Chains A and B, each alone.
Chain A
Amino acid sequence: MSEFTMPSLGADMESAALVAWRVKPGDQVKRGDVIAEVETDKGVIEIEVFEDGVVDQLLVQPGHDRLPVGAVLAMIRSNGAPAPPKVEPVPAAVEKKPEDAPPVEAPAQPAPVSEKRIRVSPLARKLAAELGVDLSTVQGTGAHGAVERADVERAAEAKKAAEKAPAPPVAVAAPPAPPVPAAAPTTAPLPAKPDSQAAMRRAIAAAMARSNREIPHYYLQTRIDMSRALKWLEEENLKRPLKQRLLLAVVLLKAVARALIEVPELNGYWVNDHHEPQEAIHIGFAISLRQGGLIAPAIHNVDLLSLDELMEAMHDLIARTRSGGLRGSEMTDGTITVTNLGDMGVETVYGVIYPPQVALVGFGKVVEQPWAENGMLGIRPVLTATLAADHRATDGRRGGQFLDILARNLQEVEKL
């Protein structure tokens, strides 16, 4: 039996409301099935189950109440396991002061959870041993209920408090408290935006503040001659009906994915004080929303997609971003983010990394610029590519190699 908890759909998510169940008790579920819809600050997201089994109980009814990340939503019985005693869900209300940022969430680990095993980060395990905390009593708040350092610390505090005062033992380590709204500014504000927009703004604020607080960014930039790439794209699109035309953005994504194969250190996460490069290349593609705000769902396995498949994936992703219907895995799986501000006339993007990722690639507008090559001065369409990278994970030299390879890939787009 395992708990199906409110997943963290990104570093900037603290809570969400359950909108609907797609399953009922007794239903058979397979890993990857969408079993519920939740409303986050970034819209309605379909969330998936990460193991095979049978839905045992639905512990929460759909409603408007916000449930914190880690709150238990349902119990899933592993196939073949006997029906166990009922489990009381941990109440959502918490008294713990939210003085620190939510712990670094581990990225979605699609490995199935075996029945008794508790997901624990190595650091948390070590700490639990030192502090004498029984891990089976700790409520994990990491991805898919993983127990992390902060959870162990909270449990240790609760244990200490319980030992001091002989009060009845409290349910240990509640999930993180919903954020307390910041004190209102004293200046007269502009007319308030709708709640959903304000909420998204707060979510972005939390993630970006955490990024700048925790991640020692370094920035590199390079100018790339785009004449060959644009010529190729124009010729290619001439052969295609409107609907099948490729956008430059697709070419850029593929070039990034290819470069990441050669510099894999930039593709992955920094979690619990260590670097976890990922093999799969899932590029979070920043899509700005017309009503304001930003969302960066992941396109999976970009390195394995042809340009046509990538274009199709982008159509699909943008449509679902605007209409609702993004998957939880798309929200959490990004191993790097690409942001393309070229449409706005921006030349250079200095990105803020989306934690726990370790890099962000920015593209500006293609502009004609003087270009010296082989002793000759000419005019070329030039794209400025930037890399914002986490200096804990990589150094400037590797970052520089990445941009070099990216520039080279864009000279040979027919090979992408």
Chain B
Amino acid sequence: MNEVQIKEVIFKALKRIAPEADPEGLPPGKNVREALDIDSYDFLMFLVGLNEELGVDVPEADYGKLITMDDIVGYMSARVADKA
């Protein structure tokens, strides 16, 4: 799975949580949870969604590494590559 596909998966997962949001339009450096008003419950559901699609399990200790869209895409891409 390449980065473009991974991005697609992330956008889809975000839209499931925040249907009214436009995650594609987020500036890459913006705090995603703040911008899309994602609380800790929704964030957990977001990670569960990514886990189902990408097979990546994010330990809690890594939550702090998933702030901006760039962070999330980078983190997921690296993990997906690790698994390959």
Stretch of B2-10, B52-60, B71-79 contacting A (4+ beta carbons < 8 Å) = B52-60
- Chain A 241-261 interface 0/1 with B at a Cβ cutoff of 8 Å (1 = within): 111010111000000000000
Report the interface size class on chain B: 10 to 19
How many Å lie between the Cα of A237 and that of B63 in the bound state? 13
* Complex contacts, A243 vs chain B, CB 8 Å: 48, 51
How many Å lie between the Cα of A249 and that of B41 in the bound state? 9
Q: Which of A218-244 contact B (CB under 8 A)?
A: 234, 237-238, 241-243
B39: contacting residue among A242, A291, A343, CB under 8 A? A343
* Complex contacts, B59 vs chain A, CB 8 Å: 237-238
Q: Is the CB of B40 within 8 A of A318?
A: no
Contact (A242, B44) CB under 8 Å given A234-B60, A237-B60, A290-B18: yes
- Chain B 16-46 interface 0/1 with A at a Cβ cutoff of 8 Å (1 = within): 0011100000000000000001011100100
Q: Does A135 contact B (CB under 8 A)?
A: no
Q: Does A118 contact B (CB under 8 A)?
A: no
Shortest distance from the beta carbon of B4 to any chain A beta carbon, whole Å: 24
B40: contacting residue among A237, A241, A248, A291, CB under 8 A? A248
Q: Does B47 contact A (CB under 8 A)?
A: yes
How many Å lie between the Cα of A238 and that of B58 in the bound state? 10
* Complex contacts, A342 vs chain B, CB 8 Å: 40
Number of A-B contacts (CB under 8 A): 34
* Complex contacts, B37 vs chain A, CB 8 Å: 290
Shortest distance from the beta carbon of A299 to any chain B beta carbon, whole Å: 13
A242: contacting residue among B18, B19, B40, B58, CB under 8 A? B58
Most chain-B Cβ atoms within 10 A of its Cβ — which of A237, A288, A290, A314? Answer: A290
* Complex contacts, B20 vs chain A, CB 8 Å: 290-291
Q: Does B1 contact A (CB under 8 A)?
A: no
Q: Does B61 contact A (CB under 8 A)?
A: yes
Shortest distance from the beta carbon of A51 to any chain B beta carbon, whole Å: 36
* Complex contacts, B44 vs chain A, CB 8 Å: 242, 245, 247
> Nearest CB to that of B38 among chain A residues?
A343
How many Å lie between the Cα of A247 and that of B51 in the bound state? 17
Shortest distance from the beta carbon of A285 to any chain B beta carbon, whole Å: 11
Q: Is the CB of B57 within 8 A of A242?
A: yes
* 26 chain-A/chain-B pairs, Cβ below 8 angstroms: A234-B60, A234-B61, A237-B60, A238-B59, A238-B60, A241-B57, A242-B44, A242-B47, A242-B48, A242-B51, A242-B57, A242-B58, A245-B44, A247-B40, A247-B44, A248-B40, A249-B40, A249-B41, A288-B39, A290-B19, A290-B20, A291-B20, A314-B41, A318-B41, A342-B40, A343-B39
